[in-house]
Chain A
Amino acid sequence: MAKEKKGVRLEHISKIYKDPKTGKDFYAVKDADLEITPGSFVTLLGPSGCGKTTTLRMIAGFESPDEGEIYLGGEPINALTPNKRDTAMVFQSYALLPHYNIFDNVAYGLKLRKLDKATIKEKVTNILKLVGLEGMEARMTNQLSGGQQQRVALARALVLEPGVLLFDEPLSNLDAKLRVSMRTEIRRIQQEAGITAIYVTHDQSEAMALSDQIIIMEKGVVAQIGTPQEIYYHPASEFVADFIGEANFLRGTLTGKTGDSGVVNVEGSPVNVVGVQEIEAGKNCTLVLRPESALLADKGQLPCKVIVSCFMGSYQNYHVMVGSTLVKITDFNPKNKKIYQVGDTAWVDFEKENVHVL
């Protein structure tokens, strides 16, 4: 559907703001260097204040970067105003024009492009069909549910066939169930339209469900770029590991190493690990262990004491102490398994491939 899928390149982009309280300058975005390939779905993910929305608004043209250059489809666009850029944005608040009906909202951009009436009608009708709102043309925006407003906002952006589609936390105002169904919808429509999409969110499951690539940001800096799998299984830092899913951090020392495998001493117990190529023997390191990658057993890698044992339906939730370290474990489908009680001693058991070393 898109006239031309466009890639986006951010070349060492920075944005500096003044802190209104202290009056000091700080980097809202620092030296972001990104390449977004045409047709891909990329998510900017991070906690609030990490610079993800600022980055998106720089691509849209609402903010100007203080350093670096932004390219859209190979063209530098730093000096272009938002109305001259081949981007279309879906806003967090939907930002539908409240004095227009659905048709006029979707047709607004087309009218500005001076298309003839018949073409506009055809395009609007098609796009409303794509987002599942056919027949609602005459409704006013306040007669729609949140999810429907969301669809109008999406249709309004899509109909312009932009080189890149921008999403600013579009689902954060919807209730949990609708959020899940809308994100599947967004992914389907993006695939069908074959359009480049950049999506800002602080919800990691949204990012996982939608993205080809996730860009994790922390305090204005890009912390990691990768596919959802890469980011989940091979987080580049404790921040990333902690932000995406839940993670246990076990501090230890690499005592021996042969090639890629090694032994790490955690709380007095040796643990076999892989992926220590870049860590020197004798150095401190951190093991990242996902709660669902470990089990409680009568025999395993690390001795522990159970301090919380809680039945959650689909899983049993344990908090155990390994020495002085708290480890969380989720044991799925616990019906026919042994349930450990508070005060029990047990072992934390896991495969060495399920541990990621930082």
Chain B
Amino acid sequence: MASRQGAALDRKKLLGDPIMVTTIVVLIAFLTLFILYPLAILLVDSVYGQETGLTLSVFQRIFAMKNFRTAITNTLKVGLTVGILSTVVGLLFAYVEVYVKVRTKFMGGLFQVVSMLPVVSPPFVLSLSMIMLFGKAGIITRYLLHIYDNSVYGFGGITVVQTLTFFPVCYMMLKGLLKNIDPSLEEAARDMGASRFKVFTSVTLPLILPGLGNAFLVTFIESIADFANPMIIGGSYDTLATTIYLQITGAYDKQGAAAMAVVLLSITLVMYLVQKYVLEKKTAATLTGKASRARMLIEDRSVTTPLTVLCSLIALFVIMMYICVPFGALFKTWGYDFHLTTKWFVRVFEKYKGLKAFKDSFVLSLIAAPITALLSMIISYLVVKRDFKAKGFIEFVSMLAMAVPGTVLGIGYIRGFVKGVFGTGFLAGLYGSAAILIIVFVIRSLPTGTRSGISALRQIDKSIEESAYDMGANSFKVFMTVTLPLIKDSFLSGLVTAFVRSITAISAIILLVTPEFLLITVQINEFAEKGSYGVACAFATILIAITYGSVLLMNLFIKFFGTSRKFKEDN
């Protein structure tokens, strides 16, 4: 084909838009510096030493360590089990919600609580309550069942806790898929003589199979990246995330920890790539149809009763575990003395600088949240609405953060920034500052925000922005006067999600926080490890109150000030 001036003209048009160009350049620099660079430095670190030169000896060394090999097996075992269990439980919940006629309002409420839990809950709350309910001094084991030597630590504990933590994610994913199945497909199968069970196994299940795989992998990644739960309830059962943490904080072996981090990262990265590029596409390919009309819900009591009872039991169990936390903070001595007391709360504030911890966590998260929300909206806008060369890079890297376990990122930041970028002293002041904590918060929440921003923007007709552009608005004006107002709700919920995720974050933060800052999550972890469950629970209770409160506040705000509802109905 003849000379192509189109691409050159597009570039010229882009360059004629200085705000766009600046935004793109700053974004690329930010993503490279705070996602790619720390990961790259880990890789370099693990194969290159100043004296040894290029070598694989570090890997040889860590693979020779028995506890590291065990950690790999443990991690994969837990990941696999939790992945399968969460997917199954998630599917159960999704199926009941979409297919089964639920008779009571109460059930509907349960479902809503379950879907909100992963948003508001700090990561290790379930571990805490697991120990308090089923541990040696557990109310259920010790007082109801009179078992005095029950051990919740180890594989079983981690698996139960992680499954209960992650299945709501699967539930939300699968619910969306099931809703997209055209009911007439299943009606056709019924019509041709298939039983309900046969319809499920021969139509519904094959249709959502890629989606199930997707949910499994997402949970798998979350499980093996999880740091807090294995830390608290793992006991001597170490996973990769905790082993890496101990390697750097205990053995002070930075190179070894870097190499281990590379191993963990490789596992999550492979899973992530399979999930994103194979399964997600397949899911989209099999389920493109919109439901033609409402589904006839299953009313047959022999189906509905067992399913709803099962769901209710699981949901109630989860809720009981959450309720256990505030009580843990109110009883004098858990498991022995059930008199109500405020001493743990008093102690939190008087002895353990609770106020400072809450202030630090709160302020840092409050700064990180708007940055994250705005950044993810800008990225979504660029990805969905604009066309330029570096777009693929921006999308890939910002979503990549999803596949990077917090511990790995933490080690990467330590290796990458303690002596400045590439050891040159450039940005050396960053390490140990509040800024690096905020940046970690931003990076950790960016994928979630970007993902919801992208899906919100895809709903909006491209020509609405084009029309504004056509009437004379530049990119910045279009973004501010059209895009942002139209995705106000998504922006708001992104804001709150980022805040909640930040204030409950621990895995990367625990490696980077300096004594100057007290963070609630780090405090909870510390006291839980020490066995001071009263204090840990008091901290956790206030944290849950904060997160739950901000979500409630957001919902109220959207209800009364969200504009989108007014015009959504029509479009």
Contacts and interface: CB of A to CB of B under 8 A. Distances in A.
Interface residues of A, number: 41
A16 B569 contact: no
Interface in B463-488: 463-464, 466-474, 477, 481-482, 485-486
Interface of A: 14-16, 25, 60-67, 78-84, 87-89, 91-93, 95-99, 108-109, 112-113, 140-142, 153, 156-157, 160
Nearest to A153: B467
A18 B4 CA distance: 13
A189 to B, nearest CB: 18
Contacts, number: 114
A91 B468 CA distance: 11
Given A92-B463, A93-B461, A99-B567, A109 B10 contact: no
Contacts of B467: 89, 91, 95-97, 153, 156
A140 B4 CA distance: 44
A108 B9 contact: no
Contacts of B5: 64-67, 78
Contacts of A63: 6
Contacts of B12: 79
B464 A64 contact: no
B405 to A, nearest CB: 35
Nearest to B465: A95
A232 B486 CA distance: 46
B13 interface: yes
B571 A89 contact: no
Given A66-B5, A79-B13, A109 B471 contact: yes
B470 A89 contact: yes
Interface of B: 1-7, 9-10, 12-13, 16-17, 461, 463-464, 466-474, 477, 481-482, 485-486, 563, 566-567, 569-571
A83 B570 CA distance: 28
Contacts of B9: 64-65, 78-79
Q: State the main secondary structure of chain B at its contact with A.
A: helix
A15 B470 CA distance: 20
Contacts of A153: 467
Contacts of B473: 83, 108, 112
Contacts of A95: 461, 463-464, 466-467
B24 to A, nearest CB: 15
A96 B3 CA distance: 38
A140 B3 contact: no
A89 B469 CA distance: 10
A158 B474 CA distance: 20
A89 B467 CA distance: 7
A14 B485 CA distance: 37
A113 B16 contact: no
Contacts of B466: 62, 82, 89, 91, 95
A142 B6 contact: no
Given A16-B4, A64-B5, A99-B485, A156 B471 contact: yes
Contact of A83 (B472, B486, B567): B472
Given A81-B13, A95-B464, A142-B569, A88 B6 contact: no
Contacts of A15: 6
A67 B474 contact: no
Contacts of A98: 464, 486, 567, 570-571
A60 B469 CA distance: 10
B460 to A, nearest CB: 9
Among A78, A91, A98, A157, chain B packs the most CB atoms within 10 A around the CB of A98
Given A79-B13, A81-B17, A160-B472, 10 more contacts: A61-B13, A65-B5, A79-B9, A92-B463, A95-B464, A95-B466, A108-B481, A109-B472, A141-B570, A156-B471
Among A66, A83, A153, chain B packs the most CB atoms within 10 A around the CB of A83
3 shortest A-B CB distances, which residue pairs? A109-B471, A64-B9, A142-B570
A102 to B, nearest CB: 13
9 contacts: A16-B4, A66-B2, A81-B469, A83-B471, A89-B466, A92-B463, A93-B461, A112-B472, A156-B467
Nearest to A66: B6
A338 to B, nearest CB: 50
Nearest to B10: A64
A318 B1 CA distance: 49
A112 B567 CA distance: 24
A141 B10 CA distance: 33
B471 A142 contact: no
A67 B2 contact: yes
Contacts of A156: 467, 471
Contacts of B7: 64, 66
Nearest to A98: B567
